[in-house]
Amino acid sequence: MAKMNWTGSAWLRPGLGVFRGNAGDNALHAHYAHQVAIALEGEVEVTLAASRLRGAGIVIPANIRHQLAPQKVLLIYLDPTSASGRALFAEAGPLPKALPAPYCKKLLTAAQSQAFLQQALTGSFSTTAPSTVDERLVAIVAKLEASLGSGIDVNRDALAAMVNLSPSRFSHWFVAQAGMPLRGYRKWLRLLLALNNVAQTGHLTEAAHAAGFADSAHFSRTFRQMFGISPMAALQQVSLHAEASSGVVS
């Protein structure tokens, strides 16, 4: 079978990441963002560990292993700690599911503008899910982002002290709030910081080092685990744009 390349454009801003174009080859993978996949033509197809879904659009919660069939798509990644990410998860539930065609059409229309897409995502779940995020979590995420940007990781004890919890209690609290362990979320933020750096400089190795990866091989392994493809293959024919913040691709 002929190799299918990733081509198109992608952009990152705090809490949100978007890809639009041709999705190419990818292996089963799982990442720390909730994902919405919408077909630009026909239906989108996603293979899961033990099943397969097809539809106008599909929502895939964070940490679910999946493989996207090569096709023209709009992919939206939502940080699970963001208001939109938490609302989407509360609305869709813990398992992948197909989305109604009218909702997919609404997002496709809104995706013509970054601002409109953000508004559409934020306003879509306001009647069924909480629209706010615990201010303590906001402070923790900001501290994590700042520490990674400075190259100095802040430890769990220091983060626990920020919210007046013991380290062990903090670990449970963070999982309840973010839907994943602190270690996994820190890895996700580091990967996003590297992608932001790549967008700014165009240099993969330097971007990986600046984000705290030991070397480019470490960055490549992490990227492949989370996206099912090497960063070189994913970014070679994709135009990547980012705001000057390490906050997700949510």
Q: What confidence tens digit (pLDDT) does each residue in 180-193 have? A: 899 999 999 999 99
In the chain the domains, ranked by start, together with CATH numbers, are: 7-123 (2.60.120.10), 135-242 (1.10.10.60)
Percent of the chain with pLDDT over 70: 90
Cα separation, 4 vs 24, whole angstroms: 5
Cα separation, 82 vs 90, whole angstroms: 12
Cα separation, 149 vs 97, whole angstroms: 35
Cα separation, 84 vs 27, whole angstroms: 27
| Dihedral of alpha carbons 13, 150, 179, 214, sign | positive
- pLDDT by 10s per residue, the chain, length 250: 557 899 999 999 888 899 999 999 999 999 999 999 999 999 999 999 889 999 999 999 999 999 999 999 999 999 988 877 877 777 667 789 999 999 899 899 988 877 678 777 766 654 344 556 788 998 999 999 888 877 777 999 999 999 999 999 999 999 988 888 999 999 999 999 999 999 988 888 899 988 889 888 999 999 999 999 999 999 999 999 987 543 433 3
Residues 6+ apart with CB under 8 A from 146: none
What pTM was estimated for this model as a whole?
A: 0.88
| Dihedral of alpha carbons 217, 231, 182, 247, sign | positive
User: What DSSP assignment string belongs to 173-232?
Assistant: HHHHHHSS-HHHHHHHHHHHHHHHHHHHH--HHHHHHHTT-SSHHHHHHHHHHHHSS-HH
Q: What confidence tens digit (pLDDT) does each residue in 144-179 have? A: 988 887 777 799 999 999 999 999 999 999 998 888
